[in-house]
Amino acid sequence: MHHRAFASLAVSAALLAGSFAVPNAARAQDAPYVDDRSDGAKLVQSLYNAIARKEYARAYAYFGDKPPAGDYASFVLGYKNTVDVEVKTGVVTQEGAAGSLYAPVPVAVRSVDKDGKERVFAGCYVTRIVNAAIQEPPFTPLHIESAELGEVKTPFAEAVPKVCHSPS
């Protein structure tokens, strides 16, 4: 499943330090602002922090030139009914390829919608940065290159994939 498909799943979450829950939409704005592109896991955490705070433009921008859902309006619509989320990340490895560093980030997401329906998703984000020393302006920061997540029946506590792979 491509990252565009992920966005259509209406997965939303707030992610800080591996696992973080946001009790409800009213408290989402109380989540501290996190915008950290220092590594792949922290970038994914920042994505979900933006979504939890309903800062969808910031969340959308973490995807660089390959935004999910095709357009911004569709991206925002995907999070319309989400009120409670929890996310866990697994072990992240970093791999170099042709002047870029890729970091596959295993993720499990538990979301609850306005009707109280709980869903668990699992999969991988792949983050990428072009070697900063060889870039010319405008600088392209670490960004989400792709995401593949799908709904699973596995309990949330066990749903984080053991491994994710960089693109070949």
Instruction: Identify the residue with better confidence: 63 or 1.
Output: 63
Identify the helix (H) or strand (E) that includes residue 45: helix 40-52
Residue ranges per structural domain of the chain: 3-157
Stated pTM of the model: 0.79
Give the separation between CA 98 and CA 79, rounded to whole angstroms. Answer: 35
Distance CA 40, CA 38 (A): 7
pLDDT digit string (tens) for 114-123?
Answer: 999 999 999 9
Residue 25: name the closest of 72, 79, 61 by CA: 79
The pLDDT value given to residue 106: 97
pLDDT of the residue at 31: 78
- Please give the pLDDT value at position 8: 31
The residues near 39 (Cβ < 8 Å, ≥ 6 apart) are 92, 94, 103, 127, 142
**What is residue 29's predicted lDDT score, i.e. its pLDDT?**
58
The encoded tokens of residue 136 equal: 């010319």
The CATH number that domain 3-157 falls under is 3.10.450
- pLDDT class for 51, splitting at 50, 70, 90? confident
